[in-house]
Amino acid sequence: MSTSENSYSEAEALNLLAQLERILDLDPLIDEVGFIHPSQLATLKEEIGNSLSSEDKDHESTSFWIRDHKLGISTQILIPVYKAAKHAFISALRQYKTPGNFSGKSQDDTVAIEVMIHSKALLLLSCDFATAWNSRKLIVSNKQLLPILMDELRLSAVVLSHSPKSEQAWSHRRWVINMISRNCSTLQWIIERESELVEKIAERSKMNYRAWNHRCWLVSFMTREQVLNELKQSRNWSGLHVADNSCFHYHRRLMIWNLEGFCHIQDNNSSGYFVETYQVWKEELDWNESLIKRYVGREALWLHRRFLSLYLIKHIATHLLGVSCQSKPKASVDIDIDSLMDHELCLVHSCSTTIPDANFEDFQAQAIHSAAYMLWLTKQIPEYQGINIQEKLQAGAGDLMRMLKRSCPDRSSLWDYLVGYHSEP
C-alpha cells in the first residue's frame, strides 16, 4: 500500500472503514480516541508484546491501535477513511429518509442501524459534522430507550476526548440529557457524572468555555443539596486554576441558583434558608480573599469578588433590611454594611499599597486590580443606608494615588481623573 494518504483506492478506504467500524463494535467501552503518526505505531506494537492475535497486530501496526479501551488511529489514513465514511453515511441516510422504500419495519431498522454505524465512525473523524449528529437525534428520538440514550452520551464523550471544544458534541449531550430528564429516576446520578466529566476535560483543555458553559447548564437539573456539594467540591479545582475565569463563572451560577431558590420560598422555613444562604456567601467571600492574597495579580479573582460583594449588599443584605422579598420573615443574621465596606476597603488598601517590588508585573497587576475594584465598588454603591462610600474612598485617596502612579506612572493623568471623579462629595 502506498504511503501517500491520497493514493488509497476506494476499495482500500472501504476496507479501512470496515476495520474501524469492527473495532468500535467489538469494544463498545472505548472511552478515548487519539490520532497517531505512523512512526509511533511500531513503538506501540512493541509495548503490547504478544497479548494480541497476529491479525490484530498487523492491523494496529499499519492503521489502528487498541488497548484498555483506548483507540489510536493512524494520521495517514484519516482522509481516505473520512471520505469513505462520509459516502457510506450519506448513502444510508438518503435511503433511510426515502419514503415508501421499505416493505417492512425490519428493513427500516436495518438501514437505521447502518446510519448509526457509519455516523459513529464519521463523527470520530469529523466531530462537527452536524448532519451526522442530527441523523442520530432523528433515529434516537423515534426509539427513546434509555440504553440508546446512554450510548449517545458515551459516543459524545469519546469525541470530546480528542476534540474537547466541539460545540456539536456538547450540544448533543444537552439534547440527550433533556431526553433522559423526561422519564428517568437516575437523572441526578447522570448529572453528577456529567459534572465530573466536565472537570476532567477542563483539566486537559485549559480555558474551555464550552465545557464550563455545559456545566453551568447542568445546574438547572440539580437539587439544592447537589448545588451546595458542587460549590464546595469545585473550590479545590478552582483554587488550582485561578486564571480560568470560566470556573468562577460556574461558581456564580451555583450561587445565583441558591439565591433564587431562597427568594421563591413562601413558608416559615425561609428564615433558616436565608441564614444558610448568607453563610454560603460569607464562606465564598472568605475563600476568595484567601486566593487573592495567595495568588497575586489574578484578575479573575477580583472579578469574582465584584459579583460576591455586590450581590451580598444589594440582594442578601437588602432582604434583611426589608427592602426586597418583603413577604419573607427577617432572619437572625447581623449584616453590618458599614463593617463590611470597611473590610473591603482594608483589603483593597493592603493589596494596593503593599508592593514589595513595583517592577514585578504581578504586584503591579494586583495594585491595579484592587484599585479598579475600589473604584467600581463606589460607582455601584455610592451611598447605602446612610453610609457614604465616597467619604471612605476620599480618606484613602492619597495612598491610592501614590500606589497607582508608582505602579503605572505612564497613566498618571488617567488616575488623577478617576480618583478625583470618584472622590468628589
Asked if residue 290 is part of any domain, the answer here is: yes
416 phi and psi angles, rounded to 5 deg: -60, -40
Q: Read off the pLDDT of residues 128-156 as tens digits, 9 standing for 90 and up.
A: 999 999 999 999 998 888 999 999 999 99
Burial 330-360 (b: 16+ CB within 10 A, else e): ebebebebeebbeebbebbbebbbebeeeee
State the pLDDT at residue 278. Answer: 82
Candidate from 102-116, 228-242, 278-292 with smallest mean pLDDT: 102-116
Residue 385 has pLDDT above 60, yes or no: no
State the pLDDT at residue 369. Answer: 87
State the pLDDT at residue 346. Answer: 83
Report the SS3 class of residue 357: coil
Q: Read off the pLDDT of residues 314-348 as tens digits, 9 standing for 90 and up.
A: 776 665 545 344 444 444 455 666 777 778 888 88
Asked if residue 223 is part of any domain, the answer here is: no
* CA distance to 82, 122, 158, 208, per residue, from 119 (Å): 11, 5, 14, 26
- What are the strands of the beta sheet with 70-74, ordered from one edge? 32-36, 70-74, 64-67
Nearest to residue 158, comparing CAs of 124, 207, 205? 124
Ramachandran assignment for 69, one of left (phi > 0), alpha (psi -120 to 50 degrees), beta (any other):
left
Candidate from 7-11, 83-87, 392-396 with smallest mean pLDDT: 392-396
Asked if residue 196 is part of any domain, the answer here is: no
Residue pair 307/377 in contact (Cβ under 8 Å)? The answer is no
Q: Read off the pLDDT of residues 346-360 as tens digits, 9 standing for 90 and up.
A: 888 787 666 555 566
| Mean pLDDT across 304-309 | 92
State the pLDDT at residue 355. Answer: 59
State the pLDDT at residue 274. Answer: 72
| Mean pLDDT across 40-51 | 68
Residue 159 has pLDDT above 60, yes or no: yes
Judging by beta carbons within 10 Å of its beta carbon (0-12, 13-18, 19+), is residue 266 exposed, middle or buried?
exposed
| 207 vs 277, residue with greater confidence | 207
Confidence of residue 216 (pLDDT cuts 50, 70, 90): very high
Ramachandran assignment for 22, one of left (phi > 0), alpha (psi -120 to 50 degrees), beta (any other):
alpha
Average pLDDT, the chain: 81
Judging by beta carbons within 10 Å of its beta carbon (0-12, 13-18, 19+), is residue 395 exposed, middle or buried?
exposed
Residue 166 has pLDDT above 90, yes or no: yes
Asked if residue 200 is part of any domain, the answer here is: no
DSSP 97-157: HSTT--SSHHHHHHHHHHHHHHHHHHHHH-TT-HHHHHHHHHHHHHH--HHHHHHHHHHHH
Residue 67 has pLDDT above 60, yes or no: yes
- CA gap 117, 83 in Å, rounded: 15
Which residues lie below 8 Å from residue 140, measured CB to CB, with a gap of 6+? Answer: 148, 149, 152, 176, 179
Q: Are strands 387-388 and 383-384 parallel, antiparallel or unpaired?
A: antiparallel
| Mean pLDDT across 72-83 | 94
State the pLDDT at residue 398. Answer: 59
Q: List beta partners, residue 383.
A: 388
Residue pair 319/277 in contact (Cβ under 8 Å)? The answer is no
Share of the chain above pLDDT 90, in %: 49
DSSP H helices, 242-336, are: 245-263, 270-294, 299-311, 317-320
**What does the chain come to in residues?**
425
Asked if residue 306 is part of any domain, the answer here is: yes
Total tally of structural domains belonging to the chain: 1
Asked if residue 371 is part of any domain, the answer here is: yes
Asked if residue 337 is part of any domain, the answer here is: yes
Asked if residue 278 is part of any domain, the answer here is: yes
- Give residue 285's domain range: 265-322+333-419
| Mean pLDDT across 235-246 | 93
Tell me which residue has cell 457509519: 118
State the pLDDT at residue 174. Answer: 97
State the pLDDT at residue 318. Answer: 60
